[in-house]
């Protein structure tokens, strides 16, 4: 008995998929999670998603699908969180390779369905940007979700579309999503987060971090990303809703446009035409900028002073929480220093650690 879960955008969606599987089904018959190897530049300095040829040590499941075991390694300079996820979680993580376009991803899915004969197939998206049209001004990263949706609609098996934490990715406000959400499937609790608690200590996903934080009771406004986007932490944060796949495809112009693509370049071209950009272009530009910056030494005393200024300004904006990714970028540190920064702050001010977020409402002494 095997369940198949497709993580729509990769990264944090894969972690959320693991949490959802444990919450709904417990520890029996662990699921196969099909996901992108597409991490933020904090983890992977190479722009865009990784493919099969970017790893060593993969395990072939079908002619075009490979699992990423704990022993697998990304080939430098690439980075990936998937081997560590495989080491810490009991699920099998299989790699979506988008370099053959939506037709290639659909082929992977159909092969997996034939190989696994799964009892259920769920497509999981944290935040809900998979329901976007493509022209929303707040939309930042539609490509992966649209590509996955386009592929799933070509699979010869029923697939359930699930949106976890509506609005938590900062892409579409929850108010805009409400009319597109169907029945409530589950509301995460603090107990549900225990299955991924070790992962939350290091994984950079902001949306899934906020999903877990709201399940643990965090409420307020969280600043995320390099731009400091404010995301509300509300009672709806831990919710998982079903959404209609056909309606999602009908609404998502980018998904419809890429449905017959055979390579990633075609997908990017459609994204530029419909959305006005490709997030891989954004990563390319940002990576070039980061490479030009001289490395900064993490000076604990200086960092705490800078943090104080950052928190004072954030409080004036009505912000109650932030992510360690945002703090890292706000303090002009590089991605490799994120974990060191995190450990410094938790050690220095443990009372402000609202796992996995940083609480900034405490007034200075």
pLDDT tens digit sequence for 346-356: 999 999 999 99
Least reliable range by pLDDT among 118-127, 172-181, 195-204, 331-340:
331-340
Please indicate, yes or no, whether residues 104 and 8 belong to a single structural domain of this protein. yes
Region 194-211: mean pLDDT is 95
Residue 274 within any structural domain of the chain: no
pLDDT at position 227, please? 84
- Neighbouring CB atoms inside 10 A of 192's CB total 20
Please indicate, yes or no, whether residues 185 and 58 belong to a single structural domain of this protein. yes
pLDDT at position 362, please? 64
Q: Is 263 helix (H, G, I), strand (E, B) or coil?
A: coil
Q: What share of the chain is helix, strand, coil (3-state, %, to 5)?
A: 45, 15, 40
Give the closest residue to 290 by CA, choosing from 338, 334, 224: 334
Q: How far is residue 32 from each of residues 6, 69, 109, 184, 277, measured CA to CA in Å?
A: 8, 12, 12, 23, 32
Is residue 115 scored above 70 in pLDDT?
A: yes
Please indicate, yes or no, whether residues 331 and 192 belong to a single structural domain of this protein. no
Residue ending a domain, choose from 257, 281, 312: 257
Residue 48 within any structural domain of the chain: yes
Residue ending a domain, choose from 228, 257, 286: 257
Q: Do residues 68 and 95 make contact, with C-beta atoms less than 8 angstroms apart?
A: yes
Per residue in 23-32, pLDDT (tens digit) is: 999 876 789 9
Region 25-41: mean pLDDT is 89
Q: How far is residue 3 from each of residues 8, 128, 164, 181, measured CA to CA in Å?
A: 16, 22, 18, 23
Q: How confident is the model at residue 334 (pLDDT cuts 50, 70, 90)?
A: confident
Please indicate, yes or no, whether residues 332 and 186 belong to a single structural domain of this protein. no
Please indicate, yes or no, whether residues 244 and 313 belong to a single structural domain of this protein. no
Split into its structural domains, the chain has a count of 2
Q: How confident is the model at residue 66 (pLDDT cuts 50, 70, 90)?
A: very high
Least reliable range by pLDDT among 26-30, 293-297, 325-329, 353-357:
293-297
Please indicate, yes or no, whether residues 240 and 117 belong to a single structural domain of this protein. yes
Residue 355 within any structural domain of the chain: yes
Residue 316 within any structural domain of the chain: yes
Please indicate, yes or no, whether residues 44 and 122 belong to a single structural domain of this protein. yes
Q: Which two tokens stand for residue 159?
A: 């697939």
Please indicate, yes or no, whether residues 246 and 316 belong to a single structural domain of this protein. no
Please indicate, yes or no, whether residues 106 and 175 belong to a single structural domain of this protein. yes
pLDDT at position 364, please? 55
Please indicate, yes or no, whether residues 173 and 309 belong to a single structural domain of this protein. no
Q: How confident is the model at residue 335 (pLDDT cuts 50, 70, 90)?
A: confident
Per the prediction, the chain carries an average pLDDT of 94
Residue 279 within any structural domain of the chain: no
Q: How confident is the model at residue 291 (pLDDT cuts 50, 70, 90)?
A: confident
Give the closest residue to 49 by CA, choosing from 91, 13, 25: 13
Is residue 344 reached through a cis peptide bond, with omega within 30 degrees of 0 on the bond before it? no
Residue ending a domain, choose from 257, 286, 321: 257
**Which helix or strand (DSSP H or E) is residue 107 part of?**
helix 101-116
pLDDT at position 363, please? 65
pLDDT at position 285, please? 93
**Which helix or strand (DSSP H or E) is residue 239 part of?**
strand 239-243
Q: Is 28 helix (H, G, I), strand (E, B) or coil?
A: coil
Give helix 338-348 / helix 300-316 axis angle, nearest 10°.
80
Range of the domain at 199: 3-257
């Amino acid at each position: 008995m095997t369940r198949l879960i497709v993580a729509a955008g990769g990264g944090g969606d894969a972690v959320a998929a693991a949490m959802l599987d444990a919450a709904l089904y417990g520890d029996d018959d662990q699921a196969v999670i099909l996901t992108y190897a597409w991490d933020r530049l904090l983890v992977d300095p190479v722009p865009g998603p990784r493919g099969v040829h970017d790893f060593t040590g993969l395990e072939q499941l079908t002619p075009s699908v490979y699992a990423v075991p704990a022993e697998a390694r990304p080939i430098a300079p690439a980075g990936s969180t998937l081997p560590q996820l495989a080491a810490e979680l009991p699920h099998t993580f299989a790699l979506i390779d988008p370099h053959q376009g939506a037709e290639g991803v659909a082929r992977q899915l159909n092969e997996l369905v034939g190989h696994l004969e799964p009892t259920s197939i769920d497509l999981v998206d944290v935040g809900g940007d998979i329901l976007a049209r493509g022209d929303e001004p707040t939309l930042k990263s539609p490509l992966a979700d649209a590509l996955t949706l386009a592929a799933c609609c070509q699979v010869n098996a029923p697939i359930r579309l699930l949106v976890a934490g509506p609005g938590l990715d900062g892409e579409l406000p929850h108010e805009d999503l409400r009319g597109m959400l169907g029945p409530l499937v589950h509301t995460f609790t603090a107990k549900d987060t225990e299955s991924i608690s070790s992962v939350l200590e290091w994984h950079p996903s902001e949306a899934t971090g906020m999903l877990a934080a709201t399940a643990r009771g965090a409420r307020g406004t969280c600043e995320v990303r390099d731009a400091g986007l404010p995301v509300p932490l509300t009672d709806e944060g831990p919710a998982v809703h079903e959404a209609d796949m056909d309606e999602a495809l009908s609404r998502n112009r980018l998904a419809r446009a890429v449905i017959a693509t055979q390579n990633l370049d075609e997908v990017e071209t459609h994204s530029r035409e419909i959305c006005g950009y490709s997030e891989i272009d954004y990563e390319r530009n940002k990576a070039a900028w980061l490479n030009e910056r001289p490395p900064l030494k993490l000076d604990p005393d200086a960092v705490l002073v800078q943090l104080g200024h950052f928190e004072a300004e954030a409080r004036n904006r009505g912000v109650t929480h932030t992510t360690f990714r945002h703090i890292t970028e706000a303090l002009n540190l590089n991605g490799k220093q994120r974990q060191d920064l995190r450990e410094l702050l938790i050690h220095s001010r443990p009372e402000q650690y609202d796992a996995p977020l940083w609480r900034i409402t405490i007034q200075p002494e």
